Amino acid sequence: MLHELLLALLGYTGDLIIDEREHQKSLGIHLSPDAPVSDERTFKLAPDTSFIEPSERDLIEKIITLGFYYRELDRFATKSRNLSWIRSANVSPLERAAELSKGKAVKPSVYRRAIANGIVEILSVYRSAVLHIEQKLLSETLPILATVTQGLNKFFVLLPPLYELVLEIERDDIHGGQLLNLLHKRCHCGVPELQACIQRLLWHGHQVLYNQLASWMVYGILQDEHGEFFIRRQEDRDVEHGSSHSDVSEKLARLSTDDTSLTDWHLGFHISLDMLPEYIHMRVAESVLFAGKAIRVLRNPSLAFRFQDQQISRGTQKIQGFTGRFAYQEEPLHDMKLIGEELLPQSEADKIEAMLQDLKESSEFHKRLFECAVDSIRAIAASHLWQLVVVRADLNGHLKALKDYFLLAKGDFFQCFLEESRQLMRLPPRQSTAEADLMVPFQLAAIKTSSEEDKYFSRVSLRMPSFGITVKSSQVDLPKAKAYPDGNSGAALSNASSEISLDGWDGIALEYSVDWPLQLFFTQEVLSKYCRVFQYLLRLKRTQMELEKSWASVMHQDHTDFAKHRNDRINCSISQQRRQRCRPMWRVREHMAFLIRNLQFYIQVDVIESQWNVLQAHIQDSHDFTELVGFHQEYLSALISQSFLDIGSVSRILDGIMKLCLQFCWNIENQESSENTSELEHITEEFNKKSNSLYTILRSSRLAGSQRAPFLRRFLLRLNYNSFFEATARGVLNVVRPRPTIPVLNQ
């Protein structure tokens, strides 16, 4: 009987000790090897055993439960270690997900296999204990059950919790990071032997985690065939969220036309919260994600960048003489392959691998050491990515180009462009040729200024978002200057006005062509912010120029009339009357110009130049790519907030003021043909209201306490240096419409 008991302890039942599930074979029910773990203990003494005393029966029933636990744990380990589910590397994640969704196979798990390896280690210790008991029983003259109980006493503490663990794993289909999380929670118990066993299982699970981390953070490869790592591919999430196979395939095909490493950076990977263990902080997971993406970028430079780097190397070696040039021509392809290693030296990759190997060899998981290692690896990746983007890709040169063209730092170029396009912008844009018409003054401005020699100018494109495709500045030949026929200009104006507003030119925008790897820094979101500021600044500069041109034009006409009629008393008196009548309007124009000039100076000097200097200081001090991205985001946010573009009420008032200024200029120049001044009076009244509303809002307590306060005070000081705005803002908003004479604003 004792030998049958020992066999039952190893999962083998017989006539004396039976398994109730196997006993049901007579009823036609067979126990499959792949059957789930039983949730009830099925090892029992045979009911016809009458020769065993009740006290011994209870003891044997207790002992054979260990055999049941052993067999169920062994079945779980055997199923989890079955290598038949390992898939071919050629199976795509989409096909695998499609198969799993149809229920064709049980989802495999490398983490379960690792835990099963740990369970096998524990069961081997159990088998050795049973063997030792057998040897001890054989050596005794009178074998007793107490020997068995004494030898297996510690396993009554270990096997039942392990059985409950695998039962929960199978019942809830736990795998990946969820399995690590479960084991980490079970480690917190008051039984040292059980705690040591669970920690050993967790160690086995962490071996898989460290292998995946090494693949991701050393080579930039996501080694996760079964979706168990907390870093996931974007297409896997699309499949999980119900996107069809064809939709995802189409999306991947569209993305494959771009550079792979940049597509991966922006859209390729994300953190799966379901698979992120709770003891790994989100900040640490984001560092892991960043480090892996950075390594992918560094190890996979684009072909254009490789070719460019190859040309630079060729030029350097030509300078070194004939020997160097000949050596370069001997193995050009080999040099191109070395570019990826230059961006991430092998010594740095070895350092990262050594950090992960130290964590892997530790018998326990130390959270602080793990976080320190991840932070160090992230710092290495960020430093080399900074070297690539800032130094080798000339980030500062491109930032300067964006400042020159999007922030109007090249004032001579845009002054020339607006002067050349002034007559064109007096008419509404034509739907079919708006962009092409603008390219004429755009190219003329480049020829007449220093922009033609600027190597970054070819990257700038002028576009009209509502009027079709973009016209590249480097792709358009300079045609002859176009002009609308004088006889049709009025008709064109009236016909187009019904469809398109005269302010249709406010949609003028710029695009900037960015090469690898600068797309990591200049994302579409960043470039759209630059474009938003550009449109605002261009409207402001156009308004300022129109106010100056209208003054110059009318003064020139006045001097011409005076020269013609200075000896003619009648005509001379008429000119003097006209001059006297226009004097109030020029005061209004001066008030407009005063506001626009101060706003323009405030934005260009107090905002753009000061923030640019802050950004340059950060670039000089920082050697971390993510820090640099953060500094640049702060730079753009400061430009937008300190220019009041994020305050709807202020930006609407400023837009209204600029439109009123343009209307005022056009009406002044057309006044010779019309003596009606009611439109000018209306413009003057609206301008007074809006300008004083602007001043009232800007000096409000809500803005005074915001981050804009120091810069806002400078602007208000310029506007109200003689208390004019403060004095007029008190009552102008409630003033009734003035009499039919243009009001004179005493300053």
C-alpha to C-alpha distance for 572 and 585, rounded to whole angstroms: 20
The confidence score (pLDDT) of residue 206 equals 94
Query: What is the reported pTM?
Result: 0.73
* Between 121 and 485, the higher pLDDT residue: 121
Contact assessment for residue 88 and residue 174, using Cβ atoms and an 8 Å cutoff: no
Q: Are strands 471-472 and 460-463 parallel, antiparallel or unpaired?
A: antiparallel
Number of Cβ within a 10 Å radius of residue 291 = 26
Strands 269-271 and 231-233: antiparallel
Secondary structure of 312-354 in the HEC alphabet?
Answer: HHHHHHHHCCHHHHHHHHHCHHHHHHHHHHHHCCHHHHHHHHH
In this prediction, residue 641 carries a pLDDT of 86
Nearest to 277 by CA among 174, 200, 197, 193: 174
Which pLDDT band, with edges at 50, 70 and 90, does 304 fall under? low
Share of the chain above pLDDT 90, in %: 25
Q: Is 558:610 a contact under the CB 8 Å cutoff?
A: no
Burial 446-468 (b: 16+ CB within 10 A, else e): beebebeebebbebbbbbbeebe
Taking each helix axis from N to C end, the angle separating 524-565 and 625-642, rounded to the nearest 10 degrees, works out to: 40
pLDDT digits (tens, 9 = 90+) for 161-219: 999 999 999 889 998 999 999 999 998 888 899 999 999 999 999 999 999 999 999 99
Cα separation, 464 vs 303, in Å, equals 32
Three-state SS across 271-300? ECHHHCCCCCCHHHHHHHHHHHHHHHHHHC
Q: What share of the chain is helix, strand, coil (3-state, %, to 5)?
A: 70, 5, 25
Cβ atoms within 10 Å of 220's Cβ, excluding its own: 21
Dump the DSSP string for 351-403: HHHHHHHHHHH-SS--HHHHHHHHHHHHHHHHHHHHIIIIIITTHHHHHHHHH
Mean pLDDT is lowest, of 65-79, 238-252, 488-502, for 488-502
Q: Are residues 667 and 680 in contact, defined by beta-carbon separation less than 8 angstroms?
A: yes
Q: pLDDT, tens digit, for every residue of 413-435? A: 888 888 888 888 888 888 778 88
43 three-state secondary structure: strand
Average pLDDT, the chain: 76
Q: Which two tokens stand for residue 687?
A: 């301008």
Beta-bridged to residue 231, according to DSSP, are 271
pLDDT tens per residue across span 215-265? 999 998 998 888 899 999 876 555 455 544 444 444 444 444 345 556 656
pLDDT range class, residue 579, cuts 50, 70, 90: low
pLDDT value at residue 369: 94
Radius of gyration over every alpha carbon of the chain, rounded to an integer in angstroms: 40
pLDDT per residue over 522-571, tens digit each?
988 999 999 999 999 999 998 888 888 777 766 666 666 556 655 555 55
